[in-house]
Amino acid sequence: MAIGITFIYSIMKMINWSMGEAYMIGSYIQYFLLLYLIPPEYWYIGVVISIIIMFIIGCLLELGLLKRMFIRVLERRDEYITVMTLAWVILFRNIMASLYGPYVYSTPEYFSRVTIGTLPISGSRFMACIGTVVILAIFWYVIKYTWIGRAFRAVAQNRLGAYIVGINSHRIDTIAFGIGTALAGAAGALLAPVYLVYPTNGSIATMKGFEIIVIGGLGSIAGSVIAGILLGIVEIICSALISTSYRDIYGFVFLLLVLAIKPTGFFGEEERLA
């Protein structure tokens, strides 16, 4: 999810504050697929379907509501985008609450408990980890070795230069927004059995996602990966040494320490002034 936020920012230079709701919708899609259509042992099919559906939703949102802001020269674009994406948060939460109520749904476990050495691990967490590695590997390959990946990197580096050489930057925006939304939906689908399914389950994911992109450096995909791993390590170690009751606080303390040392995050670039 953090990589989805960073990816959209690197291409469109905007923050999508509704990524937690994409996570939430992805978890609902996975829940209903496993409940009615797909056996739990084929959970990965549900993840793929969730990614496809969230990609389509993301593209439609960008085409219908965001594109006109980028086609025209618009003052205070960032403020309008912030208000719009925050409105999506309220809209999607209320839609899901109206349809399915404020109830908490439990998704079937993906896999039985796994033991690595003497360490027992939740099967769903283990499968979510495997799924995450696969998705990130595919994402990395697309960005690094395909034509569309080169187009993404060109637009991220120099939007005007990419347009001059024939890259349709507005089309790239739509695809990038769809991919970023799909990544958040994938996170929700993968973690549905772990964090359960309810209308506000994206709140904690949003908080963690923004912690990660600030620690790693806004716009840095590699930074998001490294920051996510570091944040998890810090929370686990502090929970073991101090108390699990303050697990979320440990992440904020780590964030503050990083910003005190490097205000732009580990891989963030300093602003260049003419």
Task: Looking at the structure, tell me whether residues 110 and 220 fall in a common domain.
Answer: no
Tokens representing 81? 């985008």
Do 222 and 196 lie in a common domain?
A: no
Residue 262 lies in a domain: yes
- Same domain for 18 and 107, yes or no, is yes
- DSSP secondary-structure letter at 37? I
Which residue range(s) make up the domain with 241? 216-268
Q: What is the mean pLDDT of residues 186-200?
A: 94
Express each pLDDT in 126-160 by its tens digit: 999 999 999 999 999 999 999 999 999 999 888 88
Q: Is the pLDDT of residue 210 over 60?
A: yes
Tally the domains of the chain: 2
Domain boundary among 145, 171, 200: 200
Both 193 and 225 in a single domain?
A: no
pLDDT digits (tens, 9 = 90+) for 217-253: 887 888 888 999 999 999 989 988 988 888 888 988 9
User: How does pLDDT run across 17-55, given as a tens digit for each residue?
Assistant: 999 999 999 999 999 999 999 998 899 999 999 999 999
Query: Using CA atoms, how far apart are residues 180 and 126, in angstroms rounded to an integer?
Result: 23
Question: Does residue 274 carry a pLDDT above 50?
Answer: no
Task: Identify the CA nearest to 157 among candidates 219, 236, 229.
Answer: 219
* pLDDT at residue 191 greater than cutoff 60: yes
Q: Name the phi and psi angles at 107, rounded to 5.
A: -80, 140
User: Residue 99, Cβ neighbours under 10 Å: how many?
Assistant: 9
Residue 15 lies in a domain: yes
79 plus 192 within the same structural domain: yes
Residue 269 confidence class, pLDDT cut points 50, 70, 90: low
Judgement on whether residues 222 and 137 belong to the same structural domain of the protein: no
How far apart, in whole angstroms, are the C-alpha atoms of residue 80 and residue 73?
Answer: 13
Residue 95 and residue 143 share a domain:
yes
Task: Take residue 9 and report the two structure tokens written for it.
Answer: 């920012």
Q: Is the pLDDT of residue 271 over 70?
A: no
Query: Looking at the structure, do residues 142 and 245 belong to the same domain, yes or no?
Result: no
Pair (20, 155) in one structural domain? yes
Q: Which residue has the tokens 């999607």?
A: 92
**pLDDT over 80 at 202, yes or no:** yes
The answer to the question of residue 52 being in a domain is yes
pLDDT in the model for residue 243: 86
Q: Give percent of the chain above pLDDT 70.
A: 97
The dihedrals phi and psi of 115, each to the nearest 5 degrees, come to -115, 120
Which amino acid is residue 27, in one-letter code?
Answer: S
Measured in residues, the chain has a length of 274
In-domain check, residue 228: yes
- Tell me, rounded to whole angstroms, the distance of Cα 52 from its chain centroid: 15
Domain contains 209: no
Are 123 and 156 within one domain?
yes
Which amino acid, 100? Answer: Y
In-domain check, residue 207: no
Same domain flag for 147 and 250: no
Q: Residue 73 has what pLDDT? A: 65
Closest by Cα among 13, 17, 228 to 132: 228
What is the rounded (10 degree) CA torsion for 74, 76, 78, 79? -130
Is the predicted pLDDT of residue 273 greater than 60, yes or no? no
The mean predicted confidence, pLDDT, of the chain is 89
Please check whether residue 205 lies inside any domain of the structure. Answer: no
The pLDDT score that the predictor gives to residue 118 is 79
The mean pLDDT value for 160-175 works out to 90
Q: Are residues 173 and 247 in the same domain?
A: no
DSSP letter at 15 equals -
